[in-house]
Amino acid sequence: MKAAKTIMSVACIIIFVSVILSSCGQKGSNTASNGQQQSSKPISLSAAPNEVQSLYKARCISCHAIDLSGKMGEQTNLQQIYKSLSYDDIVATITNGGEVMQPFKDKLSEQEINSLAAWLSKQ
């Protein structure tokens, strides 16, 4: 009888520990501020529409690099920009510039800015 209680106690502890440990490896929520599910994968230029690829290569690559890793420090890394900026924030940054980024409101059309922002925000 005492052996059966010990076995049941050990079994309960093993089940409890298994449940706890199985939840430890799960990633946090990947939901963006707009409520859409977001991937944790870095943005890839090859996954962009052709017109966005051309635009990025012509206007963005000199500061942000072909792999979007940034050539001027962490501030220019765009690989996972969708995690910190919304579509509207990206539009505003491209349009008005930022700390190290020049404004593009006089260099790109509204449609070009929106296309880049949609791709970078993964919408």
CATH fourth-level superfamily of 45-120: Cytochrome c-like domain (1.10.760.10)
Q: First and final CA of the chain: distance in angstroms?
A: 62
Q: How far apart are CA 104 and CA 73, in angstroms?
A: 20
**Higher local confidence (pLDDT), 1 or 118:** 118
Q: How far apart are CA 37 and CA 30, in angstroms?
A: 6
Mean residue pLDDT across the chain: 79
- DSSP tag of 42: P
Domain ranges in the chain are 45-120
**Higher local confidence (pLDDT), 43 or 119:** 119
Residue 56 corresponds to which tokens in the numbers above? 């990025």
pLDDT at 112: 97
Q: pTM for the complete prediction?
A: 0.66
pLDDT tens digits, one per residue of 30-79: 444 444 444 567 788 888 999 999 999 999 999 999 999 999 888 899 99
Asked if pLDDT for residue 19 goes beyond 50, the answer is: no
Asked if pLDDT for residue 100 goes beyond 80, the answer is: yes
How far lies 101's CA from each of 26, 38, 120, in Å? 36, 25, 16
Average pLDDT of the segment spanning 19-25: 43
Answer yes or no: are the C-beta atoms of 92 and 116 closer than 8 Å. Answer: no
What count of residues does the chain have?
123
Rounded to 5 degrees, φ, ψ at 52 are -70, -40
pLDDT at 13: 60
Q: How far apart are CA 75 and CA 55, in angstroms?
A: 20
